[in-house]
Amino acid sequence: MKIKIAVIILLFLVSGMLTCVQPAPNLSLSYGAFLRPDGIEFRLLAPSSKRVQLVIFSSPADESGNEYPMDRSESGVWSYFLKDAGPGTLYGYRLEGPLNDSTIIVADPYSKAAVTQNTWRHIAKSLVMEPGFDWQGDTWQNIDPKDLIIYEAHLRDMTIHPSSKAKSAGSYAGFIEENQRGGIAHLKNLGVNAVQFLPLWDFANVEIPYQEEAAGMVNTWNPYERNHWGYMPTFYMAPESYYASDGSAVPGEWNGRDGRAVRELKEVVRELHRNNIAVIMDVVVNHVSNYDWHPLKYIDRELYFKLDSEGNFLSQCCGNLLDTDNEHVRTYIIESLKYWMVEYHVDGFRFDQAHLLSAETAKYILSELRSVNPQVIVYGEAWNNRGREFSELGWGSFNAHFRDVLRGDLHDFSKKGFLFGSYRPNENKNDLKTIVTGTLWGNKGIYNTPAHTINFLEVHDDYCFSDFLRLSSGQNSKDELIKDRLQHIELTPEIFKMNTLGALVLLTSQGIPLIHQGQEWAHTQVVAATNRPDSNVGKMDPNPYNKDNETNWINWEEAAQNRALVNYYSSLILLRKKYNQLRNSSLNDFRFFDLDSRFGLGYAIADDMVVFLNGSVTEILSVKLPPGKWLQLVNASEVDLNGLRIAEGYINIQPTSGTVFIRT
């Protein structure tokens, strides 16, 4: 008995060393492929199936393989032990039953690595991988949420453009290369301490053929036949192999042949952690990819999905909806998220369309993730006015009120915001006070704590911030053709001032600031010319989800052109890091000044820091500093932590600008 206990303890310690974190209790996966000393154990949940065959392939291109009959338990779990098999084994399942199509061999929904073909069916085979990775002492970052400064990035976009100088451009390996302008180098230079990656778990890259009939469908909307952003997920536990160093976009070719994406993504996380940058994964748990042979659709659609009375998929926008309140779906979601935390040291998650989750499921997700790491970062899109509800559950969420008070209405450019010297209908200076203090409940806000508000000026969706400014100001029109991107992003004094004032409010307000890639140099999203038929080439794009081209790829020459704005952002980030008042103040720490200006706001934080904001586009704001001498740290175009000047008494705040003073 003592020997058995000692062996169990030893196995537990070895497991901990492999991941460099202490696994949570009961963290083992319920299903999938499990390496044993003398073979592989396979487990699959398929309660409605009458027969299940394990299929072992010799190569990815094989359309058939050796089949082995699996055994069924009373609960509908099928299992098989394949002797003398090991890492490198390719497998899938053939199922027979009322909800199955026995002509299709599906991959394992619990695949830890997937070999996928570049077709719209996203044909896949599961790959058994050797466990273990040398984490070299790494663990989670565990940054206080109020200290987070998040950068939203698309891993491929950050290095794929030649201007990045990355040798392994567009890949995991390329992202952490030294001696480049993009990738991790830019994050370090900017000073952010967290990166939110657009989806990194395996997704269906290819959509159905354009203007051709395919399985009764005709694609009339996507001439690129691509899903670039990754919001059509397939395997919740396998990394996207297109971003591996051997990734390919060639039609019909296979990605992930040797599973190197597993190691290469872990190397990205490890290197980011070495530089004190947390990793947040953008995840989709409400639906799966629409057109592919997704395993869950072919295993038991009635178990996993929401269906109408005729058995058709219900959909919010993407062709189907998972039944996230079903215990088996919950298990799949929870086990996949825990897997990323323990096996990949992921620090947190951004949930796409979190508002589609029930309160019960959202609460359960947070509780389970905190059982692994109490400091896990969790936030999402709590649209449909569910931000208050999610804050009560302990979740953070994207603060659209912050964006809209500053910018104006998302779609109606006539309803302008503070940066234009205006307010939307039914808004006023009190809304500005609300967002700078954390959009707190009871103060026209929705959050229990500033740690729940994700403040932003732009994300990947909709027009990027500076394109919005160009359109809303009348500098450009939606149908205007942009012939020279570098010339297009050259900042007029008006657009520059709105950018710097927006950045100042973003990085001096209570809450968690999020910066989207390129925002810091007023980037644009102009539809690039390709060999695809797109009538919008040359126009600014509010939704480039399908463009794996220079519409999205970051040209680092643009960052160099607007270096003054990049420097303003990086200096504001240093300011925020240095002064705790900007991150960790309560509502009681704020004292607002009574300024005789509709678009002038002034306030003191803890009586030793003063901020003035002037949204008027024409009026100079004359204000009086509190008694004493004050060191100016910020003006309309500069940020200097050593100070720009010492001031006392009356000062002038120029139109569309702000300033920060600290007591000397």
CATH number at residue 650: 2.60.40.1180
Together in a domain, 13 and 119: yes
φ/ψ of 362, rounded to 5, equals -60, -45
Distance CA 138, CA 269 (A): 9
- Tell whether the model's pLDDT for residue 148 goes beyond 70: yes
- Tell whether the model's pLDDT for residue 2 goes beyond 50: no
The number of distinct structural domains making up the chain is 3
User: What residues form DSSP beta bridges with 164?
Assistant: none
Q: How confident is the model at residue 640 (pLDDT cuts 50, 70, 90)?
A: very high
Residue 255 inside a domain? The answer is no
Residue 1: per-residue pLDDT? 41
Cβ atoms of residues 272 and 279 within 8 Å: yes
Together in a domain, 499 and 605: no
Residue 6 inside a domain? The answer is yes
Angle formed at CA 200 by CA 297 and CA 31, multiple of 5 degrees? 45
Residue 28: per-residue pLDDT? 83
Q: Is 608 exposed, middle or buried (0-12, 13-18, 19+ CB in 10 A)?
A: middle
Distance CA 10, CA 18 (A): 12
Residue 503 inside a domain? The answer is yes
Cβ atoms of residues 182 and 170 within 8 Å: no
Together in a domain, 605 and 567: no
Cβ atoms of residues 256 and 118 within 8 Å: no
| CATH number of domain containing 32 | 2.60.40.10
Q: How confident is the model at residue 235 (pLDDT cuts 50, 70, 90)?
A: very high
Distance CA 54, CA 92 (A): 6
Residue 131: per-residue pLDDT? 87
Residue 62: per-residue pLDDT? 97
Residue 530 inside a domain? The answer is yes
Q: Classify 580 as helix, strand or coil.
A: helix
Q: How confident is the model at residue 11 (pLDDT cuts 50, 70, 90)?
A: very low
Among residues 106, 46, 35, which one has the least CA distance to residue 70?
46
Average of per-residue pLDDT across 604-611: 96
Among residues 460, 572, 585, 566, which one has the least CA distance to residue 506?
572
Q: How confident is the model at residue 162 (pLDDT cuts 50, 70, 90)?
A: very high
Distance CA 635, CA 98 (A): 69
Distance CA 431, CA 226 (A): 40
Question: How many Cβ atoms from other residues are within 10 Å of residue 308's Cβ?
Answer: 9
Together in a domain, 477 and 548: yes
Cβ atoms of residues 539 and 526 within 8 Å: yes
Cβ atoms of residues 570 and 185 within 8 Å: no
Together in a domain, 550 and 615: no
Together in a domain, 578 and 655: no
Percent of the chain topping pLDDT 90: 94
Residue 33 inside a domain? The answer is yes
**Token pair recorded at residue 647:** 């001031």
Tokens 């570049």 label which residue? 118
Residue 4: per-residue pLDDT? 39
- Alpha carbon dihedral 529, 535, 541, 542, in 10-degree steps, equals -150
Average of per-residue pLDDT across 570-582: 98
Among residues 658, 659, 507, 579, which one has the least CA distance to residue 149?
507
Residue 238 inside a domain? The answer is no
Together in a domain, 526 and 625: no
User: What residues form DSSP beta bridges with 282?
Assistant: 350
150-153 and 105-106: which strand pairing? unpaired
Q: How confident is the model at residue 27 (pLDDT cuts 50, 70, 90)?
A: low
Residue 565 inside a domain? The answer is yes
User: Which of 534, 559, 585 finishes a domain?
Assistant: 585
Cβ atoms of residues 438 and 447 within 8 Å: yes
User: Which of 528, 562, 585 finishes a domain?
Assistant: 585
**Token pair recorded at residue 435:** 């967002």
> pLDDT tens-digit profile of 547-558?
999 999 999 999
Residue 543 inside a domain? The answer is yes
b/e 228-264 (16+ beta carbons within 10 angstroms → b): bbbbbbbbbbbbbbbbbebbeeeeeebbbbebbbbbb
Percent of the chain topping pLDDT 70: 96
User: Which of 585, 615, 631 finishes a domain?
Assistant: 585
> pLDDT tens-digit profile of 362-409?
999 999 999 999 999 999 999 999 999 999 999 999 999 999 999 999
- The crossing angle, in degrees rounded to 10, of helices 183-190 and 260-274 is 20
pTM of the shown model: 0.94
Residue 25: give the domain boundaries.
2-127
- Tell whether the model's pLDDT for residue 9 goes beyond 80: no
Residue 316: per-residue pLDDT? 86
Cβ atoms of residues 307 and 270 within 8 Å: no
Among residues 265, 267, 266, 248, which one has the least CA distance to residue 257?
248
Q: Is 441 exposed, middle or buried (0-12, 13-18, 19+ CB in 10 A)?
A: middle
